[in-house]
Amino acid sequence: MSTPHKRKLGPWSVYPIGLGCMNLSHAYGVPPSRAQAERVLLGALDAGVDLFDTAALYGFGANETLIGDILAPHRQRFVLASKCGMQGVDVQGDGKPVRVIDGRPATLKATCEAALKRLRTDVIDLYYLHRWDKQVSIEDSVGALADLVREGKIRSIGLSEVSASTLCKAHAVHPIAAVQTEYSLWSRNAEIAVLQACQELDVAFVAFSPVARGFLTGALRSINSLADKDIRRAMPRFSPQNYPLNMQLLQAFEQLAQQAGCTPAQLALVWLLAQGEHIIPIPGTTSLEHLQEDVQAAQLTIAPQHVAAADTLINRHSVHGPRYPASTLPEIDTEDF
């Protein structure tokens, strides 16, 4: 194994692989116990991870609270990223929050104030607009975040799931430090335009779901094992029609990883790191063992032919099903094939 070069993220240099904290509280069925979450978070620090990514949406504030409770004593050791503009709101007054996209300046500022308290910090290093609220101009939303920078409540601004043109409009208002979008062997939308736009503007590209929402780990052999409230149940690639077809790709991918001398998850991450020095994957996990496996991917040297073979095997032409259901598409701004 080799010592990886750190990658630029705004004014910071970070380990090439960060930690996405969402599934410690949200989205993929029953979250792990607090004790297990603590093992993962502190284990990530011990493994050299210095970028932790959360959001107001995750667990409707619970994930930010978890991060604050466990990592506040270590605040100087990592870059803290969170998100606003999409959060849980108790619309019906029944104590059951629903997801709402709201990019109005007053909402973003109020969300930030609440996040600072939950995260137990005076400043958030990287604060993303989680989704562009298309009822509000991107200039107005980013302008509100720029106010937070001037007030010293956040240090830099990020955008999530935006197109290259939206990035350019936002960047003209205030420098954007990072764009976060799904990117993996099986989700290539970023390759249309925004990946190159980030490189040209010196913006880091933070890749979420880099192991394809667990698919590329090989751990999910059947969709029947997914919890009832697991968000993957609504995603077309995990449908009863498409998943068996995608599993055929996975079997060949696992063989390729074996030939490369690494795990399938590591091959997926090595491929992603090879796509550009400005790319920082943030896999998520509830397992300390899987965390260590992911982190070690940045230290591996895999033969170029194996990386190229992975690219040829799994891509937008070979995968079955779009990445999101049709109902979600209006919420995102990323380019589509």
The pair of structure tokens assigned to 213 is 């929402």
SS3 265: helix
Residue 95 exposed, middle or buried by CB count within 10 Å (0-12, 13-18, 19+): exposed
Of the candidates 58, 127, 128, 243, the residue annotated as catalytic is 58
Which region, left, alpha or beta, applies to residue 282 given φ > 0 means left and ψ of -120 to 50 means alpha? beta
State how far the Cα of 255 lies from the Cα of 253, in Å rounded to an integer: 5
User: In the block, which residue shows the tokens 């077309």?
Assistant: 236
Q: Is 58 an annotated catalytic residue? A: yes
* DSSP string for residues in 311-324: HHHSSTTTS-S-SS
State how far the Cα of 103 lies from the Cα of 101, in Å rounded to an integer: 7
- Given a contact cutoff of 8 angstroms between Cβ atoms, the answer to whether 324 and 242 are in contact is no
The pair of structure tokens assigned to 81 is 């990223």
- Side-chain-side CA neighbours of 13 within 13 Å: the count stands at 3
State how far the Cα of 307 lies from the Cα of 300, in Å rounded to an integer: 12
- Given a contact cutoff of 8 angstroms between Cβ atoms, the answer to whether 109 and 142 are in contact is no
Which residues does the annotation mark as catalytic?
58
